[in-house]
Amino acid sequence: MNKKIAGSGFPLFFLLPIAGFLTSLFDIKSKTSAFVYVAFATLFGYAISFSDSSADSYRYAEAFARFDNTLDYDTIVKMYRNGELRDTYQLLLFYFTSIFSDNPKVMYAFAGLVYGVFSYLNLRIFVKEQGNKWDKYTFVLALVFFTYISLANINGFRFWTGALVLFYAVYNCIILKKTRWIIGIMVAPLFHYGFMLIMPVLILYRFVHPMLYNSKRVNPILLYMFIIAFGFSWVLKTNSINLTFLTSYMLSGEVVERIDYVNSEEIANLVEGRKETSLFLNVQQYFDYGIKIYVFVAVLFLNRLIKRMKGDKTIYTNLFAFVLFFYAFAFLASSVPSGSRFFDIAHLFLFVLLVKFYAIYKTKSYQNLILWSLPVFAFNIAFINGMLPLMILTPTFWYGNVFWIIIEGIDFYV
């Protein structure tokens, strides 16, 4: 039944794209669903209206309009070697699109295409771990997981595409031990300079992680690190961690300058000022407190669950060890402006672990833990999957067909 419903997603996509996308989710493993998912992501990028000046997409559209398309390949390579580039992906995306179009909708369509591929691949990871047995609990876990790979995040494609590439590469390289995916970890900073901070740590973890868990348990040091970092996250103020010791090892001058700027007292004061004046940020902050508490409780629950399990636990201790490690990093990184976004990547690993355990462990207490994630993550679920698309997309996207949406944006310019 699910395959038949998903199969209707292909013709539906052309008539009413959002209906085609939703029906394709009934059988995410099929090639037809893969096509519809990625095509819908491409169309999603194209349908951005650039009408909200507070959105990342508005600023990227302006940057694309100012882009110097007289640059050639040799010049770009020279700029990279001289440390004059901060985010190589954005420049290459701008350069490639500008060859044949100055329409920011076309540029965002390509951004949506790349994002859609990795969003789909990451969703496949979740579906594989949950074992194809759906109930309301797996749906809740899927909803939270999808929120952090949501197509709405195409709006800020630099960081979010890099985040999905990083998640997919880490899962394959560290969890599945496919060493070739270390390349994916190394290219993540090309999407967003912020990943430069964690790339060497992840590569080091790849080679030492066998010492951090075994077939019976996770090394207690990781749990202590997690607890200590969790405690510090409540008292650290914005930019209370000085990153000068890291920037001295950066190769790119642009990256060093940007990190030094973000890590400055000026930005710290600006961030604190916004928190005091913005109702949105204040509400978000309280939900973030709830998420941190939920993560802490979930980790302690899973730690106890692993201790009670019998037999070879390697496939669980491996992933749990990395969850502890990554959250410890994210707790500390949250003191740096925009560093809290590493939490969003950590959540992906946590919810893969939660659904992995749910495939074999369905007690009432565990089901309650899963259900509690719904109100805790409600703000992010509502904003990312609901409010943000309504803010950034053209109205035609919700009721028009593919051709109507494309024709509407053909002559668009900023």
Q: What is the pLDDT of residues 132-150, one digit of tens each?
A: 778 899 999 999 999 999 9
How confident is the model at residue 146, as a pLDDT?
A: 96
Report pTM: 0.91
Quick one: pLDDT at residue 270? 56
Q: Are 97 and 27 in a shared domain? A: no
Quick check: 301 pLDDT over 60? yes
Q: Which residue has the higher pLDDT, 72 or 397?
A: 397
Q: Do 116 and 10 have their domain in common?
A: no
Encoded tokens for 391 = 């803010």
Residue % of the chain over a pLDDT of 70: 84
pLDDT of residue 205: 87
Least confident of 78-92, 169-183, 249-263: 249-263
Measured from the Cβ of residue 132, the count of other Cβ atoms closer than 10 Å reads: 12
Average pLDDT over residues 56-62: 91
The label of the residue with tokens 């691949």 reads 121
How far is residue 31 from each of residues 6, 37, 165, 319, 397, measured CA to CA in Å? 10, 10, 21, 28, 24
Q: Same domain for 56 and 41? A: no
- 237 and 121 together in one domain: yes
Query: 119 or 89, which is more confident?
Result: 119
- Domain encompassing residue 6: 1-47+395-414
Q: Do residue 247 and residue 123 come from a single domain?
A: yes
Model confidence at 397, pLDDT cuts 50, 70, 90, reads very high
Regarding whether 168 and 59 lie in a shared domain, the answer is yes
Is pLDDT above 60 for 300? yes
- The predicted model gives 382-392 an average pLDDT of 94
Task: Check whether 260 has a pLDDT greater than 70.
Answer: no
Kindly state whether residues 174 and 104 are assigned to the same domain. yes
Q: How much of the chain, in percent, has pLDDT values that exceed 90?
A: 52
> pLDDT class for 249, splitting at 50, 70, 90?
low
pLDDT in tens, 26-36: 888 889 999 99
Residue 335 pLDDT: 72
* Mean pLDDT value of segment 360-388: 94
| Domain count within the chain | 2
Instruction: State which of 2-6, 113-117, 264-268, 331-335 shows the largest mean pLDDT.
Output: 113-117
DSSP secondary structure string, 39-106? HHHHHHHHTB----TTSHHHHHHHHHHT--TT--HHHHHHHHHTT--S-HHHHHHHHHHHTT---HHH
Q: Which of 151, 144, 131, 98 is nearest to 361 (CA)?
A: 131
What's the pLDDT band for 282 if we cut at 50, 70, 90?
A: confident
DSSP letter at 186? H
* Average per-residue pLDDT for the chain: 85
Residues 27 and 123 in one domain: no
pLDDT tens sequence across 315-349: 999 999 999 999 998 988 877 766 678 899 999 99
* Mean pLDDT, residues 263-279 taken together: 57
Residues 246 and 183 in one domain: yes
Let me know whether 14 and 63 are in one domain.
Answer: no
Amino acid at 5: I
Tell me the average pLDDT across 240-267. Answer: 54
70 and 16, same structural domain? no
- Across the range 383-391, mean pLDDT stands at 94
Q: Does 342 share its domain with 247?
A: yes
What is the structure's pLDDT at 81? 58
